[in-house]
Structure 1
Amino acid sequence: MSDTFRPQSSANFSRRAVLKLGIGAGLAAIVTPAVAEALRHGVLPPVVARDEAAQGVLIARAIPSSGEKLPVVGIGTARRYDVSTAEEKAPLRETLREFPKLGGKVIDTAPGYGQAEVVTGELVSELGIRERLFLATKVSIRGTDAAPGVAQMEESFRRLKTARIDLMQVWNLQGTSTLLPVLREMKAAGRIRYVGVTTSSDQQYPILEQLMQSETLDFIQIDYAADNRNAAERVLPLACEKGIGVLVNLPFGRTRVFQNVLQTPVPEWAKEFDASSWAQIFLKYIVANPAVTCVIPGTAQVKYVNDNTAGMRGGLPTAEHLKRIEALVQRSM
């Protein structure tokens, strides 16, 4: 989990397969009630969702626009990587050293995270792991002049010590109309590999949905958790429909989801989808939605990277499991 708590996927869900089955009003007419109910929750029923032979196998999801596969649990760097001293960097170095060894790949950062880009670039370069990672960062501007955004991105290349950034995202939809054409030019030039936008506000969802309909996007990034499920109503289904990858931040709701389970043992039924900690339960809740490409919990200690990355292995929750997880957090909402 994140650095306050701690939380293992089954068969890769094919977005095309899900869409062929259908989601919505006509679903029950072409599939069994059990499958219909499961798909409404973003999962397949137990007989499909869990293969005993697949326990421990790394779950990876394809980026819809390219087919490139990413492991479904990454690392977010907000706040925790905004450090400066050698003592503060030491646990981060060990965390990043272990991350690719455990199968992890995606690291998300931003210029607005203080020194996080600098620290990430420094440690990744020092460890020699750049080619094993998928680096994502962000850019934003106010107004219609692209120059400040271009300068900001050039600084991100410098800070991250890389000639290529895997994903560049317009942060909180600030300057999309100006920046997206620039990002596409940079993608065509090979300097960035994917283009996306982010938001962490439900109030921006109408604008986000309009962009998803009108723009060609490789990724969106949203906040989504067991106690913050609004994105599942329209945004995630639309991402499936339009073939857009999804990064999920704040998967623990800034630790909200742990409030009612702190002193409670991990339930026995969690073993049915190979989760052995609360953090794994809450991460798998998110990954169970087939629209989600990768979830990026803040992770700054080795014990947490071990726990979190276990959440991208084994089975996934069924629709019934999801209901149980939601009931656990409902009491604190």
Structure 2
Amino acid sequence: MSSDMSTPESVGDRGQWRPSRRRLLQVGGLSAAAAVAGGGVYAAVADGHVSTPEAGASGGVDRRQAPPPQSPAGTVTRTIPGTDIALPAIGLGTFQTFDALPGQTRSVRDEVLRRFWASGGRVVDTSPLYGLAEENIARSAVEDGIQNDLFVTNKIWSTGGYLGDASHAEASLDMSMRRLSRSAPIDVMQCHALVNVDMIVPLLHAWKSEGRIRRLGVTHHDPAYFGPLATWISGGNLDFVQIRYSIAERRAEDTILALAADKGVAVTVNMPLEKGRLHHFVGDRPLPDFARELGIRTWSQYFLKWVISHPAVTVALPATSDPEHLTDNMAACQGPLPDAGMRARMLQHLRTMPGFDGITRQPWYPGKNYPGIINRDMGAIRARSSWRSTQWV
């Protein structure tokens, strides 16, 4: 069979292209040798542009008369399974990076979102648990009239006052709509970290049937929960799953990515840069010469192109509060992607560097500080006890 992944290998009953399980395993860590031998460019991109709803009339520019700017030519896009909606493969995460208190440099976050939109970015991931992230997304989105045009993936973390009590989840959805200044339904609502998943997923299905959300999914950042995630991918009738996946944390290749492709579930990736730890690890080391073959100019592009070149990945969600870093990240969504052999070569190059296998055991955001609500409140809790966790890094 040809290694050109634009040729359909598996077409589901909804007619969408999906790579075969064999192809997915070839690009994973379990079959690196076969992947090197196979070669070929397997990371095809979908044609077309992002489908977005009409903007609401609440504030800012009325974009109902001015369609969103098209993504730059050559942008890597992926189609949501079962739809004709093509999304740029690099999105924007907001955990901690958009949790800025009043009086802090919120204007910098405004610039991040404006550059993201101008460069063709569409998918923004957030959560009510991310401090003031939802409000700070809305600040510039409302001013520019794009609050309903952004493709928002959001989350519910809810238990209620007793089993089956949906009141807290209902209040959370309403609050997110207000904070984001949305009139259009949330594009993807997810059960955050599988909290109360047995109640929340059925509730998400009800919201979807009622038109209150467009799609639903589940999330987790910890590979220890990939087993339960796989159960919900198999039997939850999900549209999306959000997982952790990076060149340093590859356990999603064992089951999750192939399973999601088989089930027609879109995959968004959190922590593709390992919360700054990958950059901290490589430091000022130069890029390998072979990176030029893919137009890679920075380590961010190296790490992100590696992630989005897996054919099961729909969108990677690097988080940043730096406009220049945003521009750098979005450049990874341009130009060629590594094939299976190049992916193996990129990984092997990092493995030659002492300490690579210990990256995921290091603290998050080395050398950075985000003094928002999350760190303020967590700091207050830590001040009440001398005990320190060794696992939450």
Q: TM-score, normalised by structure 1?
A: 0.85
Residue 321 (str. 1) matches residue 307 (str. 2): no
> Does the 8 Å contact 2:191/2:217 carry over to 1?
yes
The counterpart of 1:99, out of the listed 111, 116, 121, is: 116
CA separation in 1, counterparts of 2:260 and 2:107?
A: 38
Identity rate, percent? 31
Q: 1:138 maps to which residue?
A: 155
- 1:16 counterpart letter in structure 2: S
2:55 is aligned with 1:61? no
- 1:175 paired to 2:196: yes
Structure-2 change in CA distance of 1:50 and 1:271 (3 Å): farther
* 2: CA distance, partners of 1:162 / 1:148: 19
SS of match in other structure, 2:174 = helix
TM superposition shift of 1:39 = 10
Structure 1 range deviating more: 122-131 or 229-238: 122-131
Mark the CA change 1:49 to 1:159 in structure 2 (over 3 Å): closer, same or farther.
closer
Q: Quick one: which amino acid aligns to residue 40 of structure 2?
A: P
Flag the 1:83–1:19 CA change in 2: closer, same or farther, 3 A: closer
**Shift of residue 244, structure 1, vs aligned partner:** 0.2
In the alignment, residue 245 of structure 2 is paired with which amino acid? Y
Determine if contact 1:50/1:315 at 8 Å carries over to the other structure. no
Q: Which runs of 5+ in 2 are unaligned?
A: 12-16, 46-71, 358-393
Match of 1:137, SS? strand
Question: CA–CA distance in 1 between the matches of 2:75 and 2:238?
Answer: 26
Q: Say which one has the larger Rg.
A: 2
Per the alignment, residue 111 of structure 1 pairs with 128
Q: 2:87 aligns with which of 70, 75, 78?
A: 70
Q: 4+ residue stretches of structure 1 with deviation over 4 A?
A: 10-15, 17-22, 24-27, 33-36, 48-51
Using the TM superposition, give the Cα deviation of residue 225 of structure 1 relative to its aligned residue in structure 2, in angstroms: 0.5
Kept after mapping to 1: 8 A contact 2:110/2:139: no
Q: Would you say 1:45 and 2:48 are equivalent positions? A: no
Q: Is this contact kept in 1: 2:157–2:191, CA < 8 A?
A: yes
Aligned to 1:23: 22
Identify the structure with bigger relative contact order (alpha carbons < 8 Å, sequence gap 6+).
1
1:161 to 164, 172, 181: 181
Contact kept? 1:11, 1:59, Cα under 8 Å: no
- Structure 1 residues 20 and 300, CA gap change in structure 2 (3 angstroms): closer
Distance 1:146-1:329 versus aligned 2 partners, 3 A rule: farther
Per-residue displacement from partner, 1:229-288 (whole Å, max 9, x unpaired)? Answer: 000110000001000000101111122222442121222211212211100010010001
CA–CA separation in structure 1 for the residues paired with 2:9 and 2:260? 10
* Counterpart-to-counterpart distance in 1, 2:339 and 2:25: 21
Contact 1:12 1:59 survives alignment (8 Å): no
Local SS of the residue matching 1:75:
coil
CA distance in 2, matches of 1:88, 1:25: 42
Over 3 Å counting, the alpha-carbon distance change for 1:22 and 1:137 in structure 2 is closer
Q: Spell out the pairing of 1:120-139 with structure 2 (5 A cutoff).
A: 120-139=137-156
The amino acid that maps onto 2:112 is: T
Provide the C-alpha distance between the structure 1 equivalents of 2:228 and 2:350, rounded to a whole number of angstroms: 29
Please report how far the alpha carbon of residue 320 of structure 1 lies from its aligned counterpart in structure 2 after TM superposition. Answer: 2.5
Secondary structure at the counterpart of residue 188 of structure 2:
strand
Aligned to 1:193: 214
The CA deviation at 1:130 is 2.3
- Structure 1 or 2: more helix by fraction: 1
Aligned to 1:83, the other structure's residue is in SS state coil
Q: Do residues 204 (structure 1) and 225 (structure 2) align?
A: yes
* In structure 2, C-alpha distance between the alignment counterparts of 1:159 and 1:179, rounded to whole Å: 21
Q: CA RMSD in A?
A: 2.9
| Between 158-167 and 177-186, the greater mean CA deviation after superposition | 177-186
Change (3 A) 1:263 1:135: same
Q: 2-side partners of 1:128 and 1:87: how far apart?
A: 23
